[in-house]
Structure 1
Amino acid sequence: MNQSYSQFASVYDELMTDIPYEAYVDILDGAAAGIEGKRILDIGCGTGLLSVKLAKRGADVTGIDLSTDMLAVARERATSLSLPIQFVQQPMQELEGFSGFDVAVIAIDSLNYVLDRADVLATFKHVHKALSVGGSLVFDVHSLFKIDEIFMEGPFTFDNNRIAYIWETDEGDVPHSVYSELAFFVREESGLYRRFDEIHTQRTFEVNSYVELLREAGFSIERIFADWEDEAPHEESERIFFQVRK
């Protein structure tokens, strides 16, 4: 992420309105046999949208994110709702100081920002250490098809009359990665537009590679499914979900 991430944090929620966070809560509820009263580690929590929904369902939530600006928004959101969520700034591949959690989640392709295979393994190992025996990890990643095919169909545009962007994509420097340059235009009260720019790089791996890394970290695989449905991934699936257990 670049230095304008504080500006990105201010528009992030508006750009994520199509994400079915309630469906994610239901997935976690099923994985944990009920999340009420459970300790949940929300890794890559961003502005706390999922953390808040989990806390509203009675979970004891701790949110982790690399961005202090995102966490500032998350803290403000939780405070405004009187929800006792703890937020901590850490990179997921260096996660430390956590133990005894019932569930960990890395939602909405946050793991795809970890570009090195060794760092993905380190993330899984740290999460494994943070969970209690029998605890679950649920995460999703972009499929190879989405990274290699769909993202390469750019540029993409968006305009909702307050926020507009032009999103240009190119192949990244490593296999199955995408390099994105986004120019945002945010309408101010004066009617003028403020521009800021973002650079993002994401990478994904084959499903079998994730399975190998998860098993090396000590997890057992419970199910792998795609696109919010309880169905096995196919060659044109876009979002792959993993549910694993310590």
Structure 2
Amino acid sequence: MNGESYRAFASVYDLLMEDIPYGRYAEWVRNAAGDASGLKLLDIGCGTGVLTECFAREGFRVTGIDLSGDMLAVAKERFEAAGLDGAFFEQPMQEMEGHSGYDLAVIAIDSLNYVTDDEEVSAVFRNVYDALNPGGRLLFDVHSPYKMTELFLDGPFTADLEEVSYIWHTYPGEEPLSVESEISFFIRRPDGLYMRQEEFHLQRTFTPDTYLRLLIEAGFDVCSVTADWTGNPPAENSERIFFSAEK
């Protein structure tokens, strides 16, 4: 995915993500951190900063990175309007640099699935390892193999909201456990007419064992691997897998 991929998405992203359980993500991170007050948190793939704002309100000192300048512009406006402090950087996670001294790093809401090469996933983990203090934690979630090979291919998916509608076609990607998405957005303009935008997205996941191997090779100790907010290990039909690792 390149830096232009979310240009249309950015203006309507929050509307389309209303079903994301941001509160549960914030609770997951808070439980891992204990007392958040003063801890430095790196929100990787922060998008428009909705979850980053949750972290800031918890008491974390937050930095967000994302490869989309449009997304980051929304995030900065959000923080300014709320009177919150936060730093934001336009960087792809597999090439992020200049970050150190963090107590927590979070790659939430399947953002890591946009890194579609295992060597680049390895680079992400090495970069995060370097950015963390000793004892620092990395938390991330990804789509399961079952979701990529079964549920995503049940499309097309549609939504018809007041300000935006979309038709979302999904196809198997060329690589194992990958999905290509072609999305047609119809964004309502102030004059009542609609503007059409086309987007292409590619996501790929890997088996839990692959993520575990890459984490260990990067130097992490793996604390837990769970699924679907249950606290239980992944099952064959799990949809979302959560990892916690420590430097």
Sort the TM-score into its range (normalised by shorter chain): over 0.9
2:242 corresponds in structure 1 to 241
* Partner secondary structure for residue 10 of structure 1: helix
Conservation of the 8 A alpha-carbon contact between 1:40 and 1:103:
yes
Q: Identity of aligned pairs, percent? A: 54
- Give the Cα separation in 2 of the matches to 1:210 and 1:133: 21
* Partner secondary structure for residue 228 of structure 1: coil
For 1:164-175, list aligned pairs within 5 A.
164-175=165-176
Alpha carbons of structure 1 residues 154 and 178: separation in structure 2 relative to 1, 3 Å = same
Give the CA deviation at 1:178.
Answer: 0.3
- Give the Cα separation in 1 of the matches to 2:114 and 2:179: 10
Is residue 26 of structure 2 the alignment partner of residue 22 of structure 1? no
Matched residue count: 246
For 1:1-246, list aligned pairs within 5 A.
1=1, 3=4, 5-246=6-247
* Partner secondary structure for residue 46 of structure 2: coil
* Partner secondary structure for residue 175 of structure 2: coil
1:33-87 CA distance string (max 9 Å, x none): 2222110000000000111111011110000000011000000000111111000
1:163-199 CA distance string (max 9 Å, x none): 1111011111111000000001112232211111110
* Partner secondary structure for residue 6 of structure 1: coil
Superposed CA RMSD: 1.1
Alpha carbons of structure 1 residues 155 and 9: separation in structure 2 relative to 1, 3 Å = same
- Give the Cα separation in 1 of the matches to 2:178 and 2:5: 22
* Partner secondary structure for residue 5 of structure 1: coil
* Partner secondary structure for residue 236 of structure 1: coil
1:100-134 CA distance string (max 9 Å, x none): 10000000000000011000000000100100000
Give the CA deviation at 1:4.
Answer: 6.1
- Give the Cα separation in 2 of the matches to 1:107 and 1:4: 18
Give the CA deviation at 1:162.
Answer: 2.3
Conservation of the 8 A alpha-carbon contact between 1:4 and 1:197:
no
- Give the Cα separation in 2 of the matches to 1:42 and 1:191: 36
Conservation of the 8 A alpha-carbon contact between 1:102 and 1:135:
yes
Give the partner amino acid of 2:77: E
Conservation of the 8 A alpha-carbon contact between 1:4 and 1:196:
no
* Partner secondary structure for residue 18 of structure 2: coil
- Give the Cα separation in 1 of the matches to 2:100 and 2:72: 21
- Give the Cα separation in 2 of the matches to 1:34 and 1:221: 21
Unpaired runs of at least 5, structure 1: none
- Give the Cα separation in 2 of the matches to 1:4 and 1:45: 15
Give the CA deviation at 1:160.
Answer: 1.8
Give the partner amino acid of 1:94: E
Give the partner amino acid of 1:148: T
Q: TM-score, normalised by structure 1?
A: 0.97
Conservation of the 8 A alpha-carbon contact between 1:227 and 1:239:
yes
